[in-house]
Amino acid sequence: MTRDLFDLTGRTALVTGAGQGVGRGIAHTLAAYGAKVAVNDFFLERAQAVAAEIEAEGGKAIGVTADVSDFEGVLAMTARIEEALGGVDILVNNAGNAGPDASMPRLDFWETDPKEWDAYFRVNLRGPMVCARACTPGMVARRHGRIVTIISDAGRTGEQGHEAYSAAKAGAGGFSRALARALGRYGVTSNTISLSSIAKEGVPLPPEAEAMMKEALKRYIVRRRGLPSDVAPVVLLLASDQSSWITGQNYPVNGGFALAL
């Protein structure tokens, strides 16, 4: 295989939640293969910092901000992207967890207030739906598009203590499959990637969390946490023209945490 096999020159990609972590890695990888990248983050300064990194490496990128669950805000963001880079050809729904409320406490489900579920559904389910709604009209008109939604093994297997998150990620998977059926005739594909534990670059776990993670990793076939560099190549494949006959599928990138046919 050569780099040209996954050439994205002339394509415009929007990566949500790309101001750090997995999203940042995806944005850098798509840019390295020729895509013009709109780096989205809830915090504009983070998005602009990643865009500046990409530009410094010779790529083309802009930093944009929007709450992915806010339809009007996302429409304004995609209009800005179209003006600066062209219409969105590749949408990577990466924004997740509870958005800016990511530090929400982990409680037994029967101790939670239903209001505490809203952030998980807003970011992980409504977010991909809103962003897809904003981007798909242009994809349909151009008869080409790639949608990749980052979900979680929590949505496949369930995770105790994260019931709302698990439900939202499962919902995003179902939405992606339904979208694949609706859009395939227009040359637009929709797939998901399910992740397990991903390490944050340069951010060590606290000692008590490190001990818990060491125990959790006994369930993994590859006994280490994932890295953004493990995820980005799979996104690259699904964003490229090489994946034109792949749609409605989920790709676990999880070190063997959970297995599936």
d(CA 133, CA 21): 25
Helix (H, G, I), strand (E, B) or coil at 188: strand
d(CA 89, CA 71): 19
Q: Say what the alpha-carbon torsion angle 137, 140, 144, 145 is, to the nearest 10 degrees.
A: 40
Tell me whether residue 251 is one of the annotated catalytic residues: no
Question: What is the separation, in whole angstroms, between the first and last Cα of the chain?
Answer: 26
State both tokens at 27: 């944005």
Burial of 102 (0-12, 13-18, 19+ CB in 10 A): exposed
Q: Which of 165, 186, 220, 251 is labelled catalytic?
A: 165
Burial of 186 (0-12, 13-18, 19+ CB in 10 A): middle
Tell me the pairing of strands 145-152 and 12-15.
unpaired
Characterise 196 by phi-psi region: left (phi > 0), alpha (psi -120 to 50), beta (else).
beta
Pure H helices in the chain:
21-32, 44-56, 71-84, 118-121, 127-142, 153-157, 163-183, 207-216, 228-239
Tell me the pairing of strands 60-65 and 188-195.
unpaired
Q: Which residues are catalytic?
A: 165
